[in-house]
Chains A and B, each alone.
Chain A
């Protein structure tokens, strides 16, 4: 389908730096005409050189003004307008927008202080495309707020408190004993009613970073999924997103005891799967696993599906895959929480995928994937 692009006579300037990718191969890569082997070469190259991947992403998006381009009109609404012009009649029908989801905010003076962190993301064109009304409902300011959930009335501890972040939100929680917890987006922490009396117990869904005031007489324990992590004087992070089917504990300083894994010291990463499998890795550069605290997401050979799940949490934008098989493509790179648009463009350019965006969804597709909009013979040929 595409001839091997090796030519001894090609000039040096026509060759990109690195692993023997030339401009022609890159062109065919962007036009999706490369063989699988060539695609692998280009991807490896782009992942090894994030600066080049970024330049490429930037170039492709600027070609069509993507950063400053408004959302395209909805095709169906536009069709109605065209039809009106065809028949020269007025036919206005604007559907009522959905109202933003109300958020429960209530509670008396709290024992624990909960603060949403200011959102660093700009409300981008992307969000205006995807959730125009919801975006207006989320305020990007520091808000002190307590959510009390009167869950499970049968529980013997009526004073239990729950704190949660939605997608795009991060929060900081200062517990009554001075322990500080930082919550990633889409995370929830329950604080036991008797917290601080003889024990300090919290329950985590999602991801949190714990800076614990050590106190041997009152052990600090995180319950996350099937894992129980007990503080031994430390700062550590726990990650427990249910769809990942495993709990990961990363220790930055001090030590913790993790059920099913054992003692973890600084630089150790423990994993406990829902299926009972466990692992312990020592001597990890843990800072690279904690970059989310600064709003940076670092991926090493992460499946695309995992990357998209993370983007959903950090930007509240759902990205669909035209073909579920794309979800296994490995991605390596650094994304920031500053802009969804630049993140998705970088991922797409690195993996050689096309970002399709319509009014209500963002889709990643193979270039030339068979969709109703692609009527070119080359598209059909390539989609074989």
Chain B
């Protein structure tokens, strides 16, 4: 039996137990996905507490409707899609879409300060000229990166994040975004071009 099938089988098993009201199975599902879903939610809402609440809301919804929980797609993609849906809803209600929807816009003064002090330390830590040179270059890179990410449309950023940070296939990403695998491949092609142009640095 191949491993992919085993994992899928195990998940199907878990889902079946949850539908039967097995709280231990539900706990396993939560513990297995909590960290990655929280990270994913945090990238939208920028609040530790709100991100946790959103993730819990998704699970509460599963638990509340467990008897009729239909997982047509794989459970993982479904949970990501739900988190994204709730996060976008939350942002609409907060009316802060414009300032938080892109990863690079560090809009709140708190994160700006945290980021600022980080950069400052990174650039002032060094010793004589050589380090200053390095620090200058690092600062330049950081700024270029922040700008590049700020300029990314939400869907392109999510596609990149899910592929490189959450290890998802084009098919799974398509399910999260509610689109076709072909559209995801297009998004990723553009994402690759973004990354390539960012890394296109002349050799000193």
Q: Which residues from chain B contact A86 at a C-beta distance below 8 Å? A: 60, 63
From the candidates B8, B103, B188, name the one contacting A63 in the complex (CB within 8 A): B103
In the docked arrangement, what's the CA distance between A267 and B161, Å?
47
Which of A338-355 touch B at CB < 8 Å? 338-339, 342, 354
In the docked arrangement, what's the CA distance between A63 and B30, Å?
24
From the candidates A16, A69, A381, name the one contacting B196 in the complex (CB within 8 A): A16
Interchain nearest-CB distance for A26 vs B (Å):
7
User: Known contacts being A23-B193, A79-B34, A85-B56, is A65 close to B127, with CB within 8 Å?
Assistant: no
A54 touches B56 (CB 8 A): no
Q: Which residues from chain A contact B32 at a C-beta distance below 8 Å? A: 372-373, 375
In the docked arrangement, what's the CA distance between A376 and B167, Å?
8
The yes or no answer to A178 lying at the interface (CB within 8 A) is: no
The yes or no answer to B16 lying at the interface (CB within 8 A) is: no
Which of A63-104 touch B at CB < 8 Å? 63-65, 67-70, 72-73, 75-76, 78-79, 81-83, 85-86
A58 touches B121 (CB 8 A): no
Which of B29-48 touch A at CB < 8 Å? 30-36, 38-39, 42-43, 46, 48
* Centre residue among A14, A49, A64 by max chain B CB count within 10 A: A64
**Which residues on B are within 8 Å of A, measured CB to CB?**
3-4, 6-8, 11, 23, 27, 30-36, 38-39, 42-43, 46, 48, 52, 55-56, 59-60, 63, 74-76, 103-104, 106, 111, 114-115, 117-118, 121-122, 125-128, 131, 134, 137-138, 141-142, 144-146, 148-149, 157, 160-161, 163-165, 167-169, 172, 188, 191-193, 195-204
Interface membership of chain A positions 349-384, coded 1 if the CB is closer than 8 angstroms to chain B and 0 otherwise: 000001010100000000110001111111111011
Give 15 pairs: A residue, B residue, CB < 8 Å, sorted on A.
A30-B164, A51-B204, A59-B198, A60-B165, A62-B104, A68-B118, A73-B48, A79-B31, A79-B34, A85-B60, A339-B118, A376-B7, A377-B7, A378-B172, A380-B7
B141 touches A64 (CB 8 A): no
Q: Which residues from chain A contact B55 at a C-beta distance below 8 Å? A: 78
Closest 6 CB pairs of A and B: A23-B196, A377-B4, A75-B34, A380-B3, A23-B192, A338-B125
The yes or no answer to A55 lying at the interface (CB within 8 A) is: yes
The yes or no answer to A52 lying at the interface (CB within 8 A) is: yes
User: Known contacts being A51-B141, A373-B36, A376-B167, is A65 close to B42, with CB within 8 Å?
Assistant: yes
In the docked arrangement, what's the CA distance between A334 and B126, Å?
13
Interface membership of chain A positions 110-147, coded 1 if the CB is closer than 8 angstroms to chain B and 0 otherwise: 00000000001110100000000000000000000000
The majority secondary structure among interface residues of chain B is: helix
* Centre residue among A65, A342, A372 by max chain B CB count within 10 A: A65
A375 touches B199 (CB 8 A): no
Interchain nearest-CB distance for A220 vs B (Å):
26
Q: Which residues from chain B contact A76 at a C-beta distance below 8 Å? A: 31
